[in-house]
Chains A and B, each alone.
Chain A
Amino acid sequence: MTIEARGVVKTFGAFKALDGVDLKVANGELLALLGPSGSGKTTLLRIIAGLEWPDAGEILFDGENALDRGARERHVGFVFQHYALFRHMSVFENVAFGLRVQPRRIRKSEAQIRARVKELLDLVQLDWLADRYPSQLSGGQRQRIALARALAIEPRILLLDEPFGALDAKVRKELRQWLRTLHHSINVTSIFVTHDQEEALEVAHRVVVMDKGRIEQVGSPGDVYDSPATAFVHGFIGESIMLPVEVTGGAVHLNGRPLDIVAEGVAPGASTLFVRRHDMLVGPADSGTLHGAVTHVRSFGPVQRAEIALTEGSTIEIDAPRDRDLRIGDRVGLKPRHYRIFAGG
């Protein structure tokens, strides 16, 4: 099933949660809504589910208006951030709930319900927990039961609100992979909300980056990382060095000193230079276009991170290969291998 949002606006009092959002989701896609808290991503998800109503705009499922129908009729599987399992029901009854509340004429027989619940518990590999209660489960187990419960009604769309938000780091990583595999096997159009870029880039087919109720960029994980469309996306995804620069007639100045880089297509005025930490190459003091002295060096993983005080006044952090010999006090020259300039300070 395809999902389309057109010009969706939602305000809570004076707070504008969604400010004209347009989005198309293809059939069978696994999409991530990524953004900081307050960016409106959860509100968009809840509007698609029918748990919230937009002030303006349209939601279409397969081209049909979904706003005609309430959450109950939309046939959407929703996995809540804190799972919202029914605390007084066993795991089995939680998963069976969606089947038991169906209108009598289409309700399955008890035997069919049992078989279906067993099938779902097998799918999430937790059939041995059927008689437990939610309070007796670990976070990761609750998460998977919540998913099984949402899948019981054979939803046309699966929506997950911060699916891994409340879990510890190790369980998160395992579940990420598991979710990707699961999506592959059930192939239901799915949207999940996250504030964790790594999660979004690793799991989703496409990533929607949101900020302040607007969509900043939609693209594959590679797209949003390698060619950020806006300053916000560049700053939010991956770690970037940001330097305030002045653009005049195609030349770029840092604190009044011209830099050996080009600002194609950037309007004159105050701008910001973005460089990924690993794209800032370190050379001898007389090379490069930026200069400074090393003030701090830390080594971890495949890189070493050096803090460099620029002669132009700012302090930046760069990632250099570990075999590059850097010591505190060294004077170095820097040259960005890739960079982007966005208008605005």
Chain B
Amino acid sequence: MSIEMTLQRTPDTSARSLAESAARRDPRAEPTVVRYAIITLAVGFLSIFVVLPLVVVFVEAFGKGIAAYFSALADPEAWSAIRLTLGVAAVSVGTNLVFGLAAAWAIAKFDFPGKTFLITLIDLPFSVSPVISGLVFVLLFGAQGFFGPWLQAHDLQILFAFPGIALATIFVTFPFVARALIPLMQEQGTQEEEAAISLGASGLQTFFRVTLPNIKWGVLYGVLLCNARAMGEFGAVSVVSGHVRGETNTMPLLVEILYNEYQMVASFAIASLLAMLALITLIAKTILERNIDGDMPHDD
């Protein structure tokens, strides 16, 4: 507003003085001192609580040289943890992609009784402490648990093995894909789907040619966050894993174990991998958010 007014009044002044007078007139402008104080506070806080710990992870990891770093990662126990983590993440992201899509589709495109309840239920894993989530599976599948005797009779191992870890991770990371898609799909409505059907498209054609392309960035966004959480999950996995060395330790669990054994380089080397995952996730998230904005309907 103020810039336009200035422009009208003094059409021949240079751009620089225009900007200056605009800044002076800007009613939102705070005194310089206040501005710098607030910026310093924010930057200082971020440095101490976010940047410093991140730097420490890498400093500790490379504390005994690059060779020590890589030999720590090449350790069989570390390898097993990395493989397990990747496997669990792949399974839980895959599962939650399918269920998240289905849930978001149902909620955004149809009206049915109990819809609000379903939305609340999807958020449950966010509001429950991960430790409780893990305990639920112990109560269900443990030796004294609900399915325990049956599982033992059929010689099926769920707890303290890959299936248990995967189940706990799926539970904890369920909301990510659904949550990323529901608002996007609700905003987009069902008109394009109706148009596709009236033009003769089948249900599958409508989904793959119209619905999915419209939400592809949202899907990627959900998958990204789901993956980051699946790889980093500690609490729930810790309860169901049983900490069998070289077998049921995921990366976050191994970091803790190594740390407790004072193997600083090994511990922080694995931690640095998780930190890098976080950084990559962050960058990808920023890019995706820009693209999702483009998917939102702007005008009609």
Which residues of A pack against B, CB within 8 Å?
49-51, 70-72, 74-78, 80, 82-89, 97-98, 101-102, 135, 149-150, 152-153, 166
Contacts and interface: CB of A to CB of B under 8 A. Distances in A.
A84 B194 contact: yes
Contacts of B297: 87
Contacts of B202: 72, 101
Most chain A CB within 10 A, of B191, B198, B214, is at B198
Given A51-B194, A80-B194, A84-B192, A101 B214 contact: no
B209 A101 contact: yes
B11 interface: no
A160 to B, nearest CB: 12
B198 A72 contact: yes
Contacts of B154: none
B192 A98 contact: no
Given A97-B209, A153-B199, 15 more contacts: A51-B198, A70-B197, A72-B197, A72-B201, A83-B300, A84-B194, A85-B192, A85-B195, A87-B297, A88-B295, A101-B196, A101-B205, A101-B209, A153-B200, A166-B300
Given A101-B205, A135-B298, A166-B300, A84 B191 contact: yes
User: Which 9 residue pairs across A and B have the least CB separation, nearest first?
Assistant: A98-B199, A84-B191, A101-B201, A84-B195, A82-B300, A78-B198, A88-B213, A101-B205, A71-B197
Nearest to B300: A82
B210 interface: yes
A246 B297 CA distance: 55
Given A101-B205, A101-B209, A87 B192 contact: yes
Contacts of B210: 86
B196 A97 contact: yes
B94 to A, nearest CB: 25
Interface in B155-213: 191-192, 194-202, 205, 209-210, 213
Interface residues of B, number: 20
18 contacts: A51-B194, A75-B200, A84-B192, A84-B195, A86-B192, A87-B297, A88-B295, A89-B213, A97-B199, A97-B201, A98-B199, A98-B200, A101-B205, A102-B200, A149-B195, A149-B199, A150-B199, A166-B300
Given A88-B214, A135-B298, A82 B191 contact: yes
B191 A80 contact: yes
Nearest to A75: B200
Most chain A CB within 10 A, of B194, B199, B209, B295, is at B199
Contacts of B199: 97-98, 101, 149-150, 152-153
A75 B200 CA distance: 7
A83 B299 CA distance: 11
A87 B210 CA distance: 9
Most chain A CB within 10 A, of B191, B196, B200, is at B200
B198 A49 contact: yes
A152 B300 CA distance: 23
A49 B194 CA distance: 10
B200 A80 contact: no
B131 to A, nearest CB: 43
Nearest to A100: B209
A124 B130 CA distance: 59
A272 B193 CA distance: 47
B200 A101 contact: yes
Nearest to B212: A88
A83 B300 CA distance: 8
A141 to B, nearest CB: 13
Contacts of B201: 72, 97, 101
Contacts of A82: 191, 300
